[in-house]
Amino acid sequence: MLFDQFVDYPATALSWATVPGNPPLADAHRRTGRAVVGGLPAKPEIAGLPPKEIEIRGRRAIGEMNGRFLLLGPDCSINPDTPDDVMDAATTATR
């Protein structure tokens, strides 16, 4: 798996797509000891999801990481025109 090539990469946090075949957030943190970035889908999917789904996915990621060592974000990038209510839902998930 390509992820394994970056286990010792000198970074404070690692970001990758949490898709089938790649490790889940908690496993990556366990294997690397680093903070992880993720928990939300990337473009174009994120822009079309209802805000409640973004909140649910955000809370799921936070729960998986027990509220620690997580920078909640998309698997990759998002479009600048992603609706504000979708982005606000990610913030809501952290409260």
Contact 69, 30 (CB under 8 A): no
Q: What is the pLDDT of residues 43-88, one digit of tens each?
A: 899 999 999 999 999 999 999 999 999 999 998 888 888 999 999 9
Contact 36, 7 (CB under 8 A): no
Report which secondary-structure segment, H or E, holds 36. Answer: strand 35-40
Q: What pLDDT sits at residue 19?
A: 84
pTM, to two decimals? 0.88
Interval 40-44 mean pLDDT = 91
The overall average pLDDT reported for the chain is 92
**Residue spans per domain, the chain:** 13-93
Q: What pLDDT sits at residue 40?
A: 95
More reliable by pLDDT, 37 or 3: 37
Instruction: Calculate Rg over the CA atoms of the chain.
Output: 13
